[in-house]
Chains A and B, each alone.
Chain A
């Protein structure tokens, strides 16, 4: 269980990215975070595994305070959180296999990993992850040679190598076309339902939110402006959605909502 309490982030340049954000995520939940670009979604996700240092507030993971952890302890907590990114964030000049194996770095000793000495078990696991993602043949290609959808699957495979209990997905489908978006989100849904992983995912499109989310929070200017259950979100109308998104919703939400059907 993940608890976020009064999380606040102010960047060095004075931008107030998050203000007093609090919410709970039960194990096995598929939490969708919605909000305009710049509303603080990415900052929120990165504050959870402390890629970004929060200014104030706490994050608890199974009663352990992440925000108080340092060094080794923090890195061990991070192993529990697999992360997926909008731009995939693969090392483009490394092979697919190396990219996937790098998901294992939190478990491998520094010396061994610097020499690229991953154990046989880790390699076996990487092959299994690639097989599961359906890109076995691409294992020895460079990451940049893959298509967008394939790259995101490598990203997921890398996250799975951590054997995570929670997946942080930062707009995982924003760089993909609608068909691929569904495929990737179905993969995440399967991880959520079959492997009982908690998923926290930021999304833009209402139909995707309604289709996949079991719980929704809406952010606006770094504040939580909406919290809803699965039933509430499925009953949500375009107008309510627009309220979260504000005036600009017409352009951001309306078009793709219809287009993806």
Chain B
């Protein structure tokens, strides 16, 4: 470093005295440097300064887009985000002065200045970057408590992983509204089975007057018999068209607990229901008492079952994409191997063409390929496989071709010298050298493909990502958490297995 500085020192031959160089850089940043024969440094500094000013102006216009002049925009922007505007202006000034000082100093000592000028450049860019990328640490801290409940569900979602079969013990009684029709017959019940009595059996629903006030309906006295003793019982209402809902009182569900004999008594107010005025005939409602209890062994919940299914789908998506990738990339890799294609102008053209196409395909992320594939073959795992296959062909094609280029010619020569023909030479001299890197790269690719296929569903490419994004949009954080856990565990296992196999291969 010191040596290179000494070498550079010889190149600095100021055309103007030091103070003039400083002043020149004050007028136009970088001009002073150019006058001390450091044109490149001058251009870089001018470009840095210019870019910063341009970015700052762009942010100001963005912050205060309604103000007509730049000066007014600055004022408005300062009003909106004082810290940012102040910081950038201070750093810009520092940068301006640092560039001038750098020109003066380097002309004076005939040696390049320190890094002060570059530190000021980095500082301005940092301040701009902070604002452009909308970093908001305050928000991050302030909203942490709100994020905690969903986050804790994602981190420990296992409550949603199991479910039980439920058993319902219920009995109902009929209630008639209006006065013009005859009472319906009592519901039949067998000896020993639970039954419900209600009185009166005729009443009026709660209603809403023109001001929106609720006029309470008839109070019903319900008596239950032969239910399970000492059990919480829910009271439900079933209207004439079969809609069911739980009875509420002041917003809370009305529950009742049965006594030792399995009987209970409860009074409820008939609920508000909108009955179409044109309805004809008797309107028979039902009151129902239900005792719901868990029974049987714990069972996997629906999210758990779906997640497992999708996870398997994901692993196989990755596997199929790897298979197709291997099948297509092997022939392509020979076209992309310099030592194979060296023969003639035509083969070298094919070589460069193949390389270019592989590089382009590889530089486009699988997620973007998936977006294209969804348009092509529609939503679902196949789109994901198409996307991953395309990317795998490009990646494996490159890796394989490098393995082919790395083949040692010596053993091939030795096999030829034994009088072997070309097929035998390939079998005994070429393939044993390629098989190990080929397997190693293929397993590595499988690992990557499974990892990629977990996210490819986010854009509609099937697999577990599809499920995950659905759960997150439904705000079902526990179910999402289960999916996240499965992804993490699968990827970790795969990572380990693939590393182990690859370590053994080499």
Question: Chain A: residues with CB nearer than 8 A to chain B?
Answer: 46, 49, 51, 75-79, 81-83, 85, 87-94, 98, 102-107, 110, 113-114, 155, 158, 161-162, 168
Chain B positions 377-422 with a Cβ under 8 Å from a chain A Cβ? 408, 410-411, 413-421
> Looking at the complex, which one of A78, A94, A104, A161 makes contact with B432 (CB distance below 8 Å)?
A94
Tell me whether B429 is interfacial, beta carbon within 8 Å. Answer: yes
Q: How far is B428's CA from A103's CA once the two chains are assembled, in angstroms? A: 10
Chain B hits for A102, CB < 8 A: 415, 418, 420, 428-429
The 6 nearest A-B residue pairs measured at CB: A106-B419, A89-B410, A105-B420, A89-B414, A78-B419, A79-B419
Q: Say whether B37 faces chain A, with CB atoms less than 8 Å apart.
A: no
Q: Could you say which residues of chain B place their CB within 8 Å of the CB of A162?
A: 418-419
Which of B410, B414, B424, B436 is most buried by chain A, counting CB atoms within 10 A of its CB?
B414
Q: Does B427 contact A (CB under 8 A)?
A: yes
With A90-B411, A114-B423 in contact, is A105–B418 under 8 Å at CB?
yes
Q: Quick one: which of B86-105 are within 8 Å of A by CB?
A: none
In the bound assembly, the distance between CA atoms of A155 and B428 in angstroms comes to 15
Chain B contact residue count (CB 8 A cutoff): 21
Contact surface of B with A, Cβ cutoff 8 Å: 408, 410-411, 413-421, 423-424, 427-429, 432-433, 435-436
Give me 5 other A-B pairs in contact (C-beta within 8 A), A92-B433, A93-B432, A106-B420 excluded: A51-B417, A91-B428, A92-B411, A105-B418, A158-B414
Contact A114:B427 (CB < 8 A) given known A51-B416, A94-B432, A162-B418: yes
Q: Which of B411, B424, B436 contacts A105 (CB 8 A)?
A: B424
Given contacts A102-B428, A110-B424, A113-B427, contact A90 B419 (CB under 8 A): no
How close is A141's CB to chain B, nearest CB, in angstroms? 14
Whole-angstrom CA separation of A87 from B412 in the bound complex: 13
Partner of A79, one of B408, B418, B423, B435: B418
B504 to chain A, nearest CB (A): 12
Contacts of B433 in A (CB 8 A): 91-93
For residue B417, give the distance in angstroms from its CB to the closest CB of chain A.
4
Which residues of B are found within 8 Å of A83, using beta-carbon distances?
414, 417-418
Give Cα distance in the complex from A94 to B436, angstroms. 11
- Point out the residues of chain B lying under 8 angstroms from A90, CB to CB: 411, 414
CA distance A98 to B428 in the complex (A): 8
Q: Bound state CA distance, A79 and B435, in angstroms? A: 27
Q: Within the assembled complex, what's the spacing in Å between the Cα atoms of A106 and B421?
A: 8
- 23 example contacts (A-B, Cβ-Cβ < 8 A) are as follows A46-B413, A75-B420, A78-B416, A78-B419, A79-B419, A83-B414, A83-B417, A85-B414, A89-B411, A91-B429, A91-B432, A94-B432, A102-B415, A102-B418, A102-B429, A105-B415, A105-B418, A105-B424, A110-B421, A114-B424, A114-B427, A158-B418, A168-B417
| Chain B residue at smallest Cβ distance from A95 | B432
Q: Please name all residues of chain A whose beta carbon is closer than 8 Å to the beta carbon of B408 when the two chains form the complex.
A: 89, 92
Shortest distance from the beta carbon of B419 to any chain A beta carbon, whole Å: 3
Instruction: Tell me which residues across on chain B come within 8 A of A158, comparing CB atoms.
Output: 414, 418
Kindly state the separation between the CA atoms of A49 and B420 in the bound complex, as whole angstroms: 13
Cα separation A105 to B412 with both chains bound (whole Å): 13
Residues of A within 8 A of B418 (CB): 78-79, 83, 102-106, 158, 161-162
**Are A91 and B419 in contact, with the CB atoms below 8 A?**
no
Question: When chains A and B are docked, how far (Å) is the Cα of A50 from the Cα of B354?
Answer: 33
Which residues of the other chain, B, contact A51 by a CB distance below 8 angstroms?
413, 416-417
Residues of A within 8 A of B411 (CB): 89-92
Question: Taking A78-B417, A105-B415 as contacts, is the C-beta distance between A85 and B424 under 8 angstroms?
Answer: no
- In the assembled complex, which residues on chain A have CB atoms less than 8 Å from the CB atom of B413? 46, 51, 85, 89
Which of B415, B423, B435 touches A93 (beta carbons < 8 Å)?
Answer: B435
Q: How far is the CA of A150 from the CA of B446 in the complex (A)?
A: 38
CB distance from B404 to the nearest CB of A (A): 15
The CA-CA distance from A253 to B429 in the complex, in Å, is 35
Residues of chain B with a CB closer than 8 A to A82's CB = 417
Q: Which residues of the other chain, A, contact B435 by a CB distance below 8 angstroms?
A: 93
When C-beta atoms are compared, the residue in chain A nearest to B434 turns out to be: A93
Given A87-B410, A91-B433, A93-B433, A49-B427 contact (CB < 8 Å): no
Closest chain B residue to A106, Cβ basis? B419
Question: In the complex, what residues of A have CB within 8 A of residue B429's CB?
Answer: 91, 102
Question: Given the complex, which residues of A lie within 8 Å of B414, measured CB to CB?
Answer: 83, 85, 89-90, 155, 158
Task: Give, as a whole number of angstroms, the nearest-CB distance from B75 to chain A.
Answer: 73
Chain B nearest CB, measured from A199 CB (Å): 15
Query: Do A76 and B419 have beta carbons less than 8 Å apart?
Result: yes
In the complex, are the beta carbons of B419 and A105 less than 8 A apart? yes
Cα A83 to Cα B421 with chains together (Å) = 16
- Residues of B contacting A105 in the complex (Cβ-Cβ under 8 angstroms): 415, 418-420, 424, 428
Chain A positions within 8 Å of B423 at CB level: 110, 114
- A89 cross-chain contacts in B, Cβ below 8 A: 408, 410-411, 413-414
